[in-house]
Structure formats: structure tokens, C-alpha cells
Structure 1
Amino acid sequence: MFKLLLIEDDVTLFQEIKERLSSWSYEVYGITDFSQVFQEFTAIKPDLVIIDIQLPKFDGFHWCRMIRSHSNVPILFLSSRDHPSDMVMSMQLGADDFIQKPFHFDVLIAKIQAMLRRVYDYSTDSIELKTWCNATIDFQKNTVTNELGTIELTRNEMIILRELVNQKNKIISREALIKTLWEDERFVSDNTLTVNVNRLRKKLDELGLGRFIETKVGQGYMAVEEGSVL
């Protein structure tokens, strides 16, 4: 049974979501002290976190930043705030997806199922290591290492890198990446993929590798080998 942590201060909405998710055999936990969200997260050790932006004490961005600095657990924002900058901010902080309230429960459950399947089934991949541009990619540890150091990627970032590197020097369409990441592109904003790729590039820049992920306007993205970029 998967454990889900629902960080939501609206008691009525929390109970409604908890009841619906429990009917799908998920074990749902809430927060008892909104000044101690990270401590409760650490104690619960959930398999997935659902978090609102507007919370008592500190907002969801604060707690997302703290959780992501210590864990790669999948994070899904669930918020009534509808400004595009809120979604962009959540993705930049390491969230995996964003749903705007009000929402249809079928969309929520579809996203949760896809995220859990993607994260926990993906960990059984038999290919653990791959070399690209003189860097070693560890698919099990979600790390990339070269002579400049080691970076740690989120699952989304690693899945994007895996898809691109496994078909290096070949353009992978945005639609194909979205389907790999979220399974049903009907529920995904195109901007979500852009933010994830930009976040991946920013991390790869720490190792001097960001420029080897090329954008092909109107087509998609391509990973190239060192020496093939001017």
C-alpha cells in the first residue's frame, strides 16, 4: 500500500480527498502542525506528497523546497492559484506536477497513479549505468558524475535525460516525452515539460553538460555527444 502525505489545511477538502483516495487503497496522512511540516514528512516517509500553495505559517513553496533538498519523493501541487508563475515556480522548486482547483477527481487519481508507476516501476530498470559526454549516468541513484562533480536529479529530470541519451543524436518529440513522463498528455500543460527540461539543463550546466541538450524548435529535444556541438 502506498503512503500519501496530503498537505492541505482545508479540513473539509482534506477529508473528501482522503476518503476518495482511501477507496483506492492508498494510505493517506495529513499534517497536525503546519509549523512542523518537514518533521512530519520525515516521520511519515510517504511515497508521494500532495501539497497546497496557500498554507498556515509557511507556504507550499517553502515546504517543497525543504522536502526536495532532502528527498526525491514525487511532489504534486494542488492549488486554487491559477497564475502561470505559480506552476512555473513549483516546477523550478522540483515538483513533478501541478493541478489547479477545482479539479475532477479522475484527473487527480490518474496523475497519482502515473507518478507512482513512473517512479517506483522505473527503479527496476535493469540498465543502471550509462556513459554520455564523458559523464556517468546512474539510473538507480539518479545521479550524473564527471570530473567536475556529481549532481542529483529528480525522477522527471532523470527520465527526460534517459530518453534523450538512449536515443542520442536523434530528435525526441515533445509529445513523446510528455507521454513518457505523464502517460496521458490531455492532463498536462505543454509548459510543464519546458520547465522540467530547463531545470534539467540548469543542473547539467554545473557539470558543463547543459549545452549538449539541444532544443529543436517545433520538433523537440536532442542529446548530442561531446564534440558534435560547436
Structure 2
Amino acid sequence: MYKILIVEDDMDIAQTLKNQLDKYGYQGVIVQNFDKVLDRFQEFQPHLVLMDINLPAFDGYYWSRKIRKVSNCPIMILSARMSEADQVYGIENGADDFITKPFSLEVVLAKINGQIRRIYGEYAVDAQARILKKGNTTLNLDTVRLSTTETEDLLTVKELRLCTMLFEAYPNVVTRQQLLSAIWDDETFVEENTLTVNIVRLRKKLETIHSSLEIITIRGIGYQLAEKHI
């Protein structure tokens, strides 16, 4: 049974989510002490986290960053904040998806199902000691890290899938549609800028580790992994 941690201080919403999850065969657990979200996460070891933003003491961005330091577990933000900046900030702080309130329980469930299939189910990446190397850069699917001989950086779930597709397609172009189809279960539920934000984050990580690679935008088509021209 897949376990879902619910970090939501509105107990009516939290209980509604738990009831829906239980109904469809998940094990939902509601966080009660919002000063110890990370402790509860490590104790429960969930397969996915539903994270509200407006929480007592520390907000959901803070807890997303804390969780991301110890786990690549998918984090789905649930928030009444609807601006593009809020969504970008959520993704930049480790979230894998952003659902605005008020939300449809069917949409939330569909997104959870998609994440579970992608990460743990029939669409999961076979990472049996797989290491992909291009230029001076190595992508290790076991450790979920992008590295050079100088340094390394940890990837989020979506960054891993994007990076894997770009590495495997190298030097060919990967279309936006291919990336969306590979990473998200149903593009109907994807925010328009989510792919772009994840590409920007991945570019920054390539720069951080001093990679010889770069991600080129092929306007109107998609993205291409290539060696930098120096």
C-alpha cells in the first residue's frame, strides 16, 4: 500500500483528502504537529507528500526544502496562492507539482496516481546500476545525482526524468510533447510553465557542477542536450 503524508492545517480539508485516499487504496496520514513535519516524514517514510503552503510556524516551502535534502519523494503543493510566481517558487523549492485551491478531488487523485505510476509503478525508470555519461558529466540513476569530477548535485524526481530523456536522446532534439508525456501522466493537468521551470532548474544545476553540457531551446520544437561551444 502506498503511503501519503498530508501536511495541511485545515483539518476539514486534510480529513477530506485522507478519506479520498483511503477510499482508493492509499494510506493517508495527517500531520498533527507542524513544528515536527520532517520528523513525521522520516518516521512515516511516505511515497508522496501533499503539502500546504500556509502552515503554522514554518511554511510549506520551508518543509519542502527540508524534505528534499533527505529524500526524492514526490511533493505536491496544495495552495490558495495562484500566481505564477508562487508556482515557480514552489517548484524551485523542491515541489514536483502545484495544485491551486479550491481543487477537484478527482484532479488531485489523478495527479497522485500519475506520480505513483511514474516513480514506483509500471512507468518507473529501471535504474539497475545505470550510469549515463556525456562530455564531462555523469548522470547516476541509482543515486539520482548529476556530477562532474569537480562536484555533484542532487536531482528532483522530475529533473531526473528530464535529464534521463535528454541524455538518452543526445544529440537529438526531444520535443516538449515527448517530455510532457514522459514526465506527467496526463498533460491536461499540467500548469503551462511547469516544464519550462524544470528545464531552467536543470540548466542551473549543470552550471553549478561546471558541466561541459548545456540545454539548448529549439524554438517551437523542444530541447537538445549539447556540448558547449567555447
Same fold (TM over 0.5): yes
Q: Which residue of 2 aligns with 1:103?
A: 103
Match of 1:214 among 200, 212, 216: 216
Within a 5 Å distance, the mapping from 1:2-13 to structure 2 comes to 2-13=2-13
1:59 maps to a residue whose letter is D
CA distance in structure 1 between the partners assigned to 2:157 and 2:164 by the alignment: 10
Q: Which residue of 2 aligns with 1:152?
A: 154
Within a 5 Å distance, the mapping from 1:87-126 to structure 2 comes to 87-121=87-121, 122-126=124-128
SS at the partner of 1:6?
strand
TM-score by length of 1: 0.94
CA contact (8 A) 2:148 2:210 kept: no
* Percent identical: 36
CA contact (8 A) 2:135 2:213 kept: no
Q: Which residue of 2 aligns with 1:134?
A: 136
CA distance in structure 2 between the partners assigned to 1:151 and 1:35 by the alignment: 28
2:12 maps to a residue whose letter is T
**Cα distance per residue 1:12-48 (max 9 Å; x no partner):** 1111111011011100011111111111111111110
CA contact (8 A) 2:135 2:212 kept: no
52-61 vs 121-130, greater mean Cα deviation: 121-130
**For the aligned residues, what is the CA RMSD?**
1.5
1:39 aligns with 2:39: yes
Q: Which residue of 2 aligns with 1:74?
A: 74
2:39 maps to a residue whose letter is Q
1:171 maps to a residue whose letter is V
Any unmatched runs of 5+ in structure 1? Answer: none
2:65 maps to a residue whose letter is R
**Cα distance per residue 1:146-196 (max 9 Å; x no partner):** 211222111110110111111112111112111111121111012111111
CA contact (8 A) 2:128 2:142 kept: no
CA distance in structure 2 between the partners assigned to 1:145 and 1:52 by the alignment: 32
CA contact (8 A) 1:212 1:229 kept: no
Structure 1 residue 56 displacement after superposition: 1.2
TM-score by length of 2: 0.94
Structure 1 residue 198 displacement after superposition: 0.8
SS at the partner of 1:130?
strand
CA contact (8 A) 1:201 1:211 kept: no
95-104 vs 169-178, greater mean Cα deviation: 169-178
CA distance in structure 1 between the partners assigned to 2:170 and 2:229 by the alignment: 13
